[in-house]
Amino acid sequence: MSANTLSLTLQIWRQEGPNTTGAFETHNVSGIPDDASFLEMLDVLNENLIEAGKIPIEFPHDCREGICGTCGVMINGRAHGQEKGTAVCQLHMRKFNDGDTIAIEPWRATAFPVIKDLVVDRSALDHIVASGGFVSAPTGTAADANDTPIPKEVADSAMDAAACIGCGACVAACPNSAGQLFTSAKLWHLNSLPQGQPERFRRTEAMVDTMESFFGSCTNHGECSEACPKEISLDFIAYMNRDYVKSKVFNRKLASQK
């Protein structure tokens, strides 16, 4: 057991449902060990609320090891809190000081409506992937591994993009609530590989169009990449812009055959 414990004042967004108005609620918690994670701190608060006969706070969480992309809240105005390259579940209370006041909000975007309290509906991200984030290969059984030679650098680049866990922090951190970092990561992990080439432009157009029907547009602030728990690079956004306009300009004939 850690010797240090923290007492905190929490300002938490409470909202009944998607169609009601929410407000901040202040709670005090004490005796939080500093090696607890941020979500475990919320667990302690919820235990207290249940014992007091109140309704616990809904917050998104699943694997708690930073790989599933379910968790995510705004902490003091930063997506996933102040720790770089870290999801909320991997943010530990030792990063905070005793007596701190912490403001906790749900992801910010009109495309992310609040379901309850801190839980938002991220199905807009699913719609983007569903519109083209796949490779259709109706060619029989699975090919042998390494059948298609891929240079190491290309595989690395695709893997960097595929590291996206789809948590939505990029959208929440963006002052325009743009989905560019998410969409470009999903595009590049297929568009950079040989298997992704046949559908490259169709995919780019479909996914960007879906993205734009939900989210804002990019103003190149770079906030998304800073907030990203997987530190996805802004470079992918440039590749997406390049492919999209290329598709509109040079690939009209192919695109119209879809």
Partner 1 sequence: MATPTISTRPSSPTPRPKKKELPYPLNIYQTAVGKKWVMAVTGIGLLGFVFAHMLGNLKIFIGEVEEDGVLVQDIDVYAEFLREIGEPLFPHGSVLWLMRLGLIAMFALHIHAAYTLNKLNNSSNVRYQQKTDWLASNFASRTMRYTGPIMLAYIIWHLADLTWGFTDALYSNDGAAGPATGEWHHGDVYANLHGSLGNPISAIIYIVANMALALHIFHGAWSMFQSLGINNPRYNAARRYFAAGFAGLIFVGNVSIVIATMADWV
Using CB under 8 A as the criterion, which residues of the chain lie in contact with partner 1 when the complex forms? 11, 13, 17-19, 22, 24, 74, 76-78, 82, 103, 105-106, 108-115, 121, 123-124, 127, 173-178, 208-210, 212-223, 225-227, 234-235, 237-245, 248-249, 252
Which phi and psi angles does 247 have, rounded to 5°?
-60, -45
Kindly tell me which of 195 and 217 has the beta carbon lying closer to partner 1: 217
Kindly tell me which of 17 and 194 has the beta carbon lying closer to partner 1: 17
- Please state the closest distance from residue 20 (CB atom) to partner 1, in A: 11
Which phi and psi angles does 186 have, rounded to 5°?
-65, -35
- Please state the closest distance from residue 122 (CB atom) to partner 1, in A: 9
Comparing CA positions, the residue from 25, 172, 200, 28 lying closest to residue 112 is 172
Q: Are 48 and 29 in contact (CB under 8 A)?
A: yes
Q: Are 104 and 11 in contact (CB under 8 A)?
A: yes
- Please state the closest distance from residue 124 (CB atom) to partner 1, in A: 5
- Please state the closest distance from residue 5 (CB atom) to partner 1, in A: 25
Kindly tell me which of 46 and 76 has the beta carbon lying closer to partner 1: 76
- Please state the closest distance from residue 39 (CB atom) to partner 1, in A: 19
Comparing CA positions, the residue from 213, 206, 68 lying closest to residue 136 is 206
Q: Which residues of 9-21 are buried (b: 16+ CB within 10 A; e: fewer)?
A: ebebbbbeeeeee
Comparing CA positions, the residue from 122, 246, 243, 255 lying closest to residue 179 is 122
- Please state the closest distance from residue 114 (CB atom) to partner 1, in A: 7
Kindly tell me which of 173 and 185 has the beta carbon lying closer to partner 1: 173
Kindly tell me which of 13 and 39 has the beta carbon lying closer to partner 1: 13
Kindly tell me which of 33 and 234 has the beta carbon lying closer to partner 1: 234
Q: Are 167 and 88 in contact (CB under 8 A)?
A: no
CB atoms within 10 A of CB 233: 18
| Cα 247 to Cα 232: distance, rounded to the nearest angstrom | 24
